[in-house]
Chains A and B, each alone.
Chain A
Amino acid sequence: MSEWTKHDLLDLQDVSRDEIELILQTAKSFKEVSARDVKKVPALRGKTVVMLFFENSTRTRSSFELAAKRLSADTINIAAGSSSVSKGESVLDTARNIEAMNVDAIIVRHSAGGVPQMLSRHLKASIINAGDGCRSHPTQALLDMFTIKEKLGRIEGLKVAIVGDIRHSRVARSNIKGLTTMGAEVTVCGPATLVPREVVSLGAKINYDIYDVIKKSDVIMPLRIQMERQEQKFLPSLREYAIRFGIDKTKLKEAKKNVIIMHPGPTNRGLELSAEVADGEYSVILDQVTNGVAVRMAILYLLLGTKEKPTEDG
């Protein structure tokens, strides 16, 4: 197995198959830790982890926070919002101020793509991307891959369908990259206004026929339809979306016997996913949440052990 030498986790673009395997393997060990009565190990004692969220997120933030705490790291939360931007302070300013407090890792979420890269170029702390713009959400993709492997025993050769708003989805982009790196075949499906043609260049296939997609897939991952996209008129109506692309019991009749249904959460029940399916036998949505903590523990453990990196700021 390869060694982990990266200092940051910015996206999955340059993460190799061996490195993904190492993360998933390490996460398996951490999943055991989370199942104990005493869910805490001293591995990151004395380290400080900052959660710098410029965009709201309850799930991802609490998952990271639990992961850090279970490793005995100290955590602080900074909900920067977009207000600091309007006050004239740049993202970099904010981050430099935080780093000046001698922190070891900054977990960052921002509405603009590339912010983790920018911080990485200027800061010595490990930067972990908790979602940037519509670009990348590497820990979500890793926990999805962990869950797929746990449930189906492998990733290679599986047919994975991602359904919904691909255009604005960082989860879709990271999963396309991660899953294809691991040898899965990814098909995206959704209304043409939300599935950009260029997605093909990322290694995914496009198929607008949801019935055909369901029939062929081992994994179906409906994405959250964000209401503000509807306001931007990307969809004729939510009703038409739910009827045409929503994953429900009727559509799943044609699915493979051991298909699994995943969702990055939070779900709009009755829109992209019916309640029956979300709570049904195929759903692994809650396993994803459990696994999220283990995967994030693995990432924190691996990243915080590496040497300091050189930065542009010297």
Chain B
Amino acid sequence: MTNSTIMDQETVQRAVTRIAHEILEKNRGIKDLCIIGIRTRGAVLAERINACIKQIEGNKAPLGILDITLYRDDLTTVDIQPIVRETLIKFDITGKKVVLVDDVLFTGRTIRSALDALIDFGRPSSIQLAVLVDRGHRELPIRADYVGKNIPTSVDQDVKVILKESDKKDDQVIVGERKKK
């Protein structure tokens, strides 16, 4: 099995910073902006992006955490129910420009679930998508507005994002062979 590190701590942080800049540029500041990270690593990234935004703008955007478990389209096929964690969105998203944050964009199914979940919370004026890694192989018509890095992969490969806050290890993005089940 060959694992190769595609991004390290420095490149991850640089990508986060760039995404923060792009978000501000595209939305012309933080007015009506809010950032919602998808559990678990999307939430970590969302927090980092928001920290960058504060450095640049002096203020943070409202930050939320979304657990999409209950909206997954594969719940009826799993043997054991995945653990549900709390969704924490303590503000009204109606009329807001929501930036949804996740670590890896792959089939697009997670984002589909997240869009469904967000709609249950209100009617945002727009939803944008920021991801650290886009690895291709979409199964749904979904694309990202902000991409840290495009990584061409084969379907058999596994992309793993490690972040200090959630994994207690230095940031890195690893591409390896998918574990055979």
Contact = CB atoms under 8 A, between A and B. Distances in A.
Contacts of B81: 4, 301-302, 304-306
Interface string A19-32: 00010011011101
Contacts of A38: 120-121
Interface centre among B84, B86, B120 (most CB of A within 10 A): B84
B83 A22 contact: yes
Nearest to B79: A307
A40 interface: yes
Interface string B119-159: 01110000000000000000000000000000000000000
Nearest to A22: B83
Contact of B80 (A29, A30, A305): A305
Contact of B71 (A5, A22, A42, A302): A42
A313 interface: no
B70 A42 contact: yes
B75 interface: yes
Contacts of A46: 76
B80 A5 contact: yes
A228 interface: no
A313 B88 CA distance: 45
Given A38-B121, A40-B120, A41-B71, A306 B79 contact: yes
A33 interface: yes
Contacts of A298: 84
B84 A29 contact: yes
Contacts, number: 57
A238 interface: no
B88 A42 contact: no
Given A29-B67, A32-B87, A305-B75, A3 B80 contact: yes
Contacts of A305: 75, 78-81
Contacts of A30: 84
B116 interface: yes
Interface string B65-105: 00101110001101111011111100000000000000000
A304 B77 CA distance: 11
Contacts of B120: 36, 38, 40-41
A305 B117 CA distance: 20
A1 B82 CA distance: 11
A5 B81 CA distance: 9
A26 B83 contact: yes
B75 A43 contact: yes
B84 A37 contact: no
A4 B78 CA distance: 12
Interface string A69-82: 00100000000000
A73 to B, nearest CB: 12
Interface of A: 1, 3-5, 22, 25-26, 28-30, 32-33, 36-38, 40-44, 46, 71, 298, 301-302, 304-307
18 contacts: A1-B83, A4-B80, A22-B83, A25-B83, A26-B83, A29-B67, A29-B85, A29-B86, A32-B87, A38-B120, A42-B70, A42-B71, A43-B69, A298-B84, A305-B81, A306-B79, A306-B80, A306-B81
| Interface pairs A-B: 3 shortest CB-CB | A305-B81, A41-B70, A43-B70
